[in-house]
Structure 1
Amino acid sequence: MIPTAWNKAFASLGGSRETDMISLYPLPAARVCSSMSIDSPASALCPSPAASLRTWEAESSRSLEGKENRLRPLRSGATDLVRSQDPVCARQVLRRRPGLARPGDPASLLPAVWCRETGVASLPGRNPYYIKRFAHYVGRRCRNETVKDAAKEFRLDWSTVKAFEIQYMKARLKRHPPPKPRIIGIDEISLRKGHVYRVVVSDLGRRRPLFFGGKDRSEASLDLFYESLGKRASGRIRLAVMDMWKAFEASIRENAPQAAILFDEFHVLRLLNEALDKVRCSEYARIKGTDRRFIKGQKYALLSSRENMTLNGWASLQRLLKKNKRLYTAYPLKETFEQLWSYRKKAWARRFFDNWRESLESQRLPSYAKFAEMIERYWDGIAAYCRPENKAALGYIEGLNNKIRFLHRRAYGLGDEEYLRMKVLTCTLPEI
């Protein structure tokens, strides 16, 4: 006999006592149908609080392939019917017995609620057809593959998979709120042609992105980060690592005046490599005849560091330096300048730079002289690296930019900028 509570619930919702099937979905490889009907005995449908529902292991084992994918026992976690927005729809909540579901088991991803009218398992929430566990599982898969591939694998719509990934990323951001940084790294990244830039701010102490946005690389775009961070948290910033862009420096001076500014070694050496390449181009234009063959194709041999150079590259570089006197002078100057970041006191670093600048006299290297003037203007931000407390991980900034470019390139461009922002902010967070 059917319990009185069930009769009253169905009567209030306009339902009838007809035999229905429980269809557990969304995994096609783990589709299970069990013949639990409304006309089943009360001991099966609505047991006492101390008793649990009996398992239908025989039916699940025939539907699932393999012993590891076998459906785990279920119990009645709540026997009351939940009224939904549809007056003729009733849902019975079935919760999994604690300790029986294992991570990675497809059966553990099956929905746990059944709709009598539609015959589809569902849960009241943002997407009534799938549970949060399955949405997070799809979101984890989207970390290593595109939304299109995940939609094809799970036989879902593209927009549904994207909504699952957004739900998963929001859950990760909620579990790991943004920290209060002490050392930040600031850089810009180009999204596409036409000088379309976005500002990227990261926490170098925890190696985590903090901000991705703005409309360009102006001072107003970086001010948005300090507004989201707050005045109190902005006052805790001790060091800001950036390139020599004046807009970023002005924003730091205004919003976090107590922070020391450190110009990134990567950007400084990139300007020095550009100066050396200008010398190579000028020598190629000056020399005529067969001597050009020693210079042609040797750009990356000149710009590469010695530890990254191959034997063939080193041999061709030696032949080039023997044939061209000006490049023979410019190349050692580029190699020795990297010693500037090895000093622990500003006075020693200053003495090294003065000697290096004096060696440029009468060398007829205008690009190097222009580079030395630039170093003189930004000396305080470059020499700040000599202090022991400013030994920050400078390579993380460019590594994060490469990861953002990979995310953008893998999707062949992302028109939804909010979606891209969430992918950037969660790219280094642990999985849940």
Structure 2
Amino acid sequence: MTVNKFIRNLLNLKELSVTHVELHARKRTLDLWVKPYKNGCLCPHCHRRGRIVRIMDECRLWRDLTLYGCMVMLWYCPKEIMCPTHGRVQENIPWADDYARITYRFEYAMLVYCQIMSQKAAAQMLHIAQSTLSDLLHRSIERIRDGHRIRDLKAIGVDEISYCKGHKYATIVYDIKKACVVWVGKGKGEKTIDRFFKEMLSDYQKRKIKWATCDMSQAYINAIENHCPNVTLILDRFHIVKKLNEAVDEVRKEQWREASGDERKTLKGLRWLLYRHSSKRSKKDTWILNTLRKGNRRIHRAWVLKDEFEHFWDYKTHWAADRFIKRWTTTALKSRLEPIRRFVKTIRKHMHRILPYVETRMTNAVAEGLNRIIKIIKNRASGFRTLEAFTDLIFLTVGDLNIPEQIPKDFRTI
């Protein structure tokens, strides 16, 4: 076996041939002079062979993965060729992107490591400075995502996150079906989400959106319904339940403020019992709440209405759920509990956005799950100075484009 073949097999080098080797033991550096293997002088755009015009005077340098603590460097003098279609261009470099200083293999390892660990840990594993890795990482993500378009978007979710101190927010749009992030925009509110629909989607794509989920923010509701003519908007179940729990808790607070010292002892510790779902309560908890029938009828009435509303989520047909919600709202309005009455007005206002849940079972749970991953990304980096850097890491980890898979298949090795 020749030295050339041995090194190519040892380092798993593809698409290139080794012409010369130098090992610097003191510097822990392995220099390899290489050239394209059987496919040189190809146009980088159309991959047609061209006539050599000039050979570069100085060799270019690419960094490859570290081997047993030894830094591997590739050296080559690229050629300028005359392509029949694209004119005078630099020949295609099969092991790296145009004008890059790292190989595809190094780039793939960097992207995969940064998906699962902090940039500091990835820099230590790749034996480079953290600032250098950060610069290379964001350049790679921007290059790979350049020109990427959103495709096959049928169900979207909208939510917001805080990315920095000082009430700085970002709006995130999710693909509910594929469980990924498709867009991140600075700010929150209707103007921000309008930018997504105007800049990122065509009229045809807007018509293709069939379902959308969001919280009870009127800004998101208006933007989605204004831009998507065929959409069925479904308000998130979690936020509706949260709104009802807040109404019940407001009743408890009112009674607490009106109660005397002895009466407050019977009301103490009720907050979390009232929040608890019926399936999570013990018999003792239910007994305590039932004693309120004599101790405080207003809190007991609010709790009974809350427990009855839980049955709405179990319905399977639209007509049955519609009949239930109308009966429940009528009963709740007669309760003479002002916080509950305000909740009923909200329910009646959004009735056509709540009932579709019964048939679709669609919620914002996917978006909330992705939000948890996004928070992990932020905590892993101990925060980001700019939204652009944060956005790149979001797209790398939970984006709609699998960025490491865009590296040529032959170089996806670690």
1:294 to partner: Cα distance: 4.3
Alignment partner of 2:287 out of 318, 321, 324? 318
1:424 to partner: Cα distance: 2.0
**Residues 266 and 93 (structure 1 numbering): CA distance in 2 closer, same or farther, change over 3 Å?**
closer
CA distance in 1, matches of 2:117, 2:63: 32
1:363 to partner: Cα distance: 2.9
Q: Which has the higher strand share?
A: 2
Match of 1:405 in 2: 375
Alignment partner of 2:196 out of 225, 231, 249? 225
Give the number of aligned pairs.
347
Match of 1:264 in 2: 236
1:302 to partner: Cα distance: 1.9
**Residues 253 and 284 (structure 1 numbering): CA distance in 2 closer, same or farther, change over 3 Å?**
same
CA distance in 1, matches of 2:62, 2:300: 79
1:419 equivalent in alignment to 2:389: yes
CA distance in 2, matches of 1:114, 1:364: 82
2:252 touches 2:299 (CA, 8 Å); kept in 1? yes
CA distance in 2, matches of 1:110, 1:194: 43
Match of 1:90 in 2: 59
Post-superposition CA distance 1:223-272 (Å, at most 9, x none)? 22112122221121112212222222222233212222221112111111
CA distance in 2, matches of 1:293, 1:234: 56
**Residues 325 and 132 (structure 1 numbering): CA distance in 2 closer, same or farther, change over 3 Å?**
same
1:368 to partner: Cα distance: 0.6
- Report 1:299-318 matches (<5 A): 299-309=271-281, 315-316=284-285, 318=287
User: Tell me, which stretches of 5 or more residues in structure 2 are unaligned?
Assistant: 1-19, 39-51, 78-94, 406-414
SS at match of 2:213: strand
CA distance in 2, matches of 1:131, 1:275: 59
For normalisation by structure 2, the TM-score amounts to 0.71
User: Tell me, which stretches of 5 or more residues in structure 1 are unaligned?
Assistant: 1-18, 39-44, 50-79, 96-103, 117-121
1:202 touches 1:209 (CA, 8 Å); kept in 2? yes
For normalisation by structure 1, the TM-score amounts to 0.68
**Residues 115 and 24 (structure 1 numbering): CA distance in 2 closer, same or farther, change over 3 Å?**
farther
2:312 touches 2:324 (CA, 8 Å); kept in 1? yes
- Report 1:8-407 matches (<5 A): 21-22=22-23, 31=28, 33=30, 87=57, 89-90=58-59, 111=72, 113-114=74-75, 125-128=98-101, 130-167=102-139, 169-170=141-142, 173=145, 178-192=150-164, 194-217=166-189, 219-226=190-197, 227-309=199-281, 315-316=284-285, 318-323=287-292, 324-386=296-358, 388=359, 390-407=360-377
**Residues 339 and 192 (structure 1 numbering): CA distance in 2 closer, same or farther, change over 3 Å?**
farther
CA RMSD of superposed structures (Å): 3.9
2:156 touches 2:212 (CA, 8 Å); kept in 1? yes
2:290 touches 2:300 (CA, 8 Å); kept in 1? yes
**Residues 410 and 200 (structure 1 numbering): CA distance in 2 closer, same or farther, change over 3 Å?**
same
Letter in structure 2 aligned against 1:366: E
CA distance in 2, matches of 1:108, 1:426: 27
Between the two structures, name the one with larger relative contact order (CA 8 Å, sep ≥ 6): 2
Letter in structure 1 aligned against 2:194: D
**Residues 271 and 192 (structure 1 numbering): CA distance in 2 closer, same or farther, change over 3 Å?**
farther
Match of 2:8 in 1: none
**Residues 160 and 145 (structure 1 numbering): CA distance in 2 closer, same or farther, change over 3 Å?**
same
Letter in structure 2 aligned against 1:332: V
Post-superposition CA distance 1:137-187 (Å, at most 9, x none)? 122222222222333444422221213433554577579863221111122
